[in-house]
């Protein structure tokens, strides 16, 4: 059973544009929502994470928006750059399961110059 659903599967954005990737979850016990970035030939790397007690978290050009009532969260990449081209994974975890992460299917982002 897929507990974290991610969309779109792929995304093409022009340089300087805004990239938006969405995730929806089912389990209301989830209380930690990280995003991972994966470049070809590399493992995923933690990009930014949020807890449900805040609705938004910003780090540089990357922002997570969180809607607890809708059980949705999204990653916004402002001023997208070709170097942002990678696969992005959302994930969710709950305190009672330790750091066990449930991942979304991934979004392949391409930023054209």
Partner 1 sequence: ETGVTQTPRHLVMGMTNKKSLKCEQHLGHNAMYWYKQSAKKPLELMFVYNFKEQTENNSVPSRFSPECPNSSHLFLHLHTLQPEDSALYLCASSQGQGIDYGYTFGSGTRLTVV
**Binding-site ranges for partner 1 (CB under 8 A):** 2, 4, 9, 31-32, 34, 36, 41-46, 49, 89, 93-95, 98-106
Minimum CB distance to partner 1 smaller for 15 or for 100? 100
Minimum CB distance to partner 1 smaller for 73 or for 89? 89
Give CA–CA dist 65/19, Å, rounded: 13
Provide the minimum distance between the beta carbon of 32 and partner 1 in the complex, in angstroms, as a whole number. 4
Provide the minimum distance between the beta carbon of 97 and partner 1 in the complex, in angstroms, as a whole number. 8
The Cα diameter of the chain in Å comes to 44
- Bridge partners for 108 per DSSP: 10, 87
Cβ neighbours of residue 98 closer than 8 Å, sequence gap 6 or more? none
Provide the minimum distance between the beta carbon of 34 and partner 1 in the complex, in angstroms, as a whole number. 7
**Helix, strand, or coil (residue 83):** helix
């Amino acid at each position: 059973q897929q507990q974290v659903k991610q969309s779109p599967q792929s995304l093409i954005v022009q340089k300087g544009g805004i990239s938006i990737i969405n995730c929806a979850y089912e389990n209301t016990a989830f209380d930690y929502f990280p995003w991972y970035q994966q470049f070809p030939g590399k493992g995923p790397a933690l990009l930014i994470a949020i807890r449900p007690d805040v609705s938004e978290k910003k780090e540089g050009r990357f922002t997570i928006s969180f809607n607890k009532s809708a059980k949705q969260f999204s990653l916004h990449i402002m001023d997208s750059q070709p170097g942002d081209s990678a696969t992005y994974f959302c994930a969710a975890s709950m305190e009672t399961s330790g750091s066990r992460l449930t991942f979304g299917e991934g979004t392949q982002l391409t930023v054209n110059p």
